[in-house]
Amino acid sequence: MKRMTNIALMTTVITAIAGGSLVIPVGAAAASGPKPAQPDSVRRYLVGSGDMLIASAAYAGQAPAQQPAVADSQKARTGTGPAAGSIEAGQSTFQQNCAFCHGRDAAGGETGPDLTRSKLVAEDVAGNKITEIIHNGRIEKGMPRFPFSELETANVVAFIHNQALKAQSQTGKRRGVEVADLQTGNLEAGKKYFNGAGGCTSCHSPTGDLAGIASKYQGLQLEQRMLYPRDAKSTVVVTLPSGQKVEGALAYQDEFTVALRDSTNTYRSWPVSAIQAKINSPVDGHVDLFSKYTDDDIHNLMAYIQTLK
């Protein structure tokens, strides 16, 4: 088992999912000054309505410094041998513009994937793949374009590669969730659950709204949407005293008032006591399943959903 010195564990990135949460250690940073070696433990929890993944590792003792090897490998990877200053400048640019989605250390954040384990990053040479993504974005996946200068782009590329190499040198410290981690279910059992006990077909169709869903989202992000689609919109049909029906997207609701936006995006509201309102909340069906899911149900359903590309 690999041994490291002067490690200070910094924890907690929490992504809330109704009925569960993902807790991932943010990473480890070198502490200053000599310290006696002490064992540290890292536990990672993926909790999704009864679905739990736990990985742990322990570190203690002395080890040679890793930075020279990282720097040498970085030169080979980028083809330009960026100086430490370019990595530092890239870190600043990255943390100002990219950290919200990808995390301050590029190892995954609120919505963005772990770039330190990215296939695209691994295949990139001197920014030939990363640069295109930075400048053009991936609009369909929610990533905007960034008009960085050539120097800023090169610095960001250097930082990302440096983080990837650091991650590779820290065997046993993986803190992300790989797509393969979520591919343990039985596809046929998942399809049967989707069409039967899960009641999924009452709202969804594999050739309709879910067509291509597994191409747009992968791994943990796909499972989060499967368990709790936070952006699902509720609709409401309001029946007025005259019998006229008005329908639209639910805009507001409390015990006294209900409001909607109609097909012209006009905001309309009524006192609850004066009308009848029928609300359709798609997310309710997902919430209802939380108390019914078994671990096998989630694994199997995820195996089936991942085929809808």
* pLDDT tens sequence across 82-133: 444 599 888 889 888 888 888 888 887 767 778 887 888 888 888 888 998 8
**What is the spatial order of strands in the sheet that 276-280 belongs to?**
267-271, 257-261, 245-253, 235-239, 276-280
* pLDDT at res. 41: 37
- 2 belongs to a structural domain: no
In which domain, by residue range, is 129 found?
Answer: 67-169
Looking at the structure, tell me whether residues 56 and 162 fall in a common domain. Answer: no
Of 268 and 17, more confident? 268
208 and 270 fall within a common domain: no
pLDDT, tens digit, for every residue of 47-87?
A: 333 333 333 333 334 444 444 444 444 553 544 444 445 99
Which residues sit opposite 24 in a β-bridge?
Answer: 13
| Residue 159 and residue 264 in one domain | no
* Total count of residues recorded for the chain: 309
Which tops the pLDDT comparison, 161 or 9? 161
Could you tell me if residue 176 is inside a domain?
no
Q: Where residue 112 sits, what CATH number does that domain have?
A: 1.10.760.10
Could you count the other beta carbons within 10 Å of the beta carbon of residue 113? 23
Q: Say how far apart CA 110 and CA 160 lie, in whole Å.
A: 18
Q: What is the pLDDT of residues 4-34, one digit of tens each?
A: 433 333 333 333 333 443 433 433 333 444 4
Is the pTM value of this prediction over 0.75? no
Taking the mean position of all CA atoms in its chain, how far away is CA 30? 27
What is the tens place of the pLDDT at every residue in 278-303? 999 988 889 899 899 999 999 999 99
Q: How many domains does the chain have?
A: 4
β partners of residue 268 = 260
The answer to whether residues 259 and 146 belong to one domain is: no
pLDDT band at residue 200 using 50, 70 and 90 as cut-offs: very high
The mean per-residue pLDDT over the stretch 196-216 comes to 92
Q: Are residues 253 and 219 in the same domain?
A: no
Residue 46 vs residues 11, 55, 181: alpha-carbon distances, Å: 14, 9, 11
Binning pLDDT at 50, 70 and 90, where does residue 171 land? low
Is 215 domain-assigned?
yes
For residue 23, the model assigns a pLDDT of 39
Instruction: Specify whether the CB–CB gap between 5 and 40 falls below 8 A.
Output: no
Do 188 and 298 belong to one domain?
Answer: yes
Asked whether residue 216 falls in the same domain as residue 188, the answer is: yes
One domain for residues 104 and 145: yes
Reference 78, options 33, 125, 31; nearest CA is 125
Residue 146: φ, ψ to 5°: -125, 115
pLDDT tops 70 at residue 202: yes
Asked if residue 155 and residue 88 are part of one domain, the reply reads yes
Of 31 and 178, the structure prediction assigns the larger pLDDT to 178
111 and 221 in a common domain: no
Residue at 140 is within a domain: yes
Residue 174 in domain: no
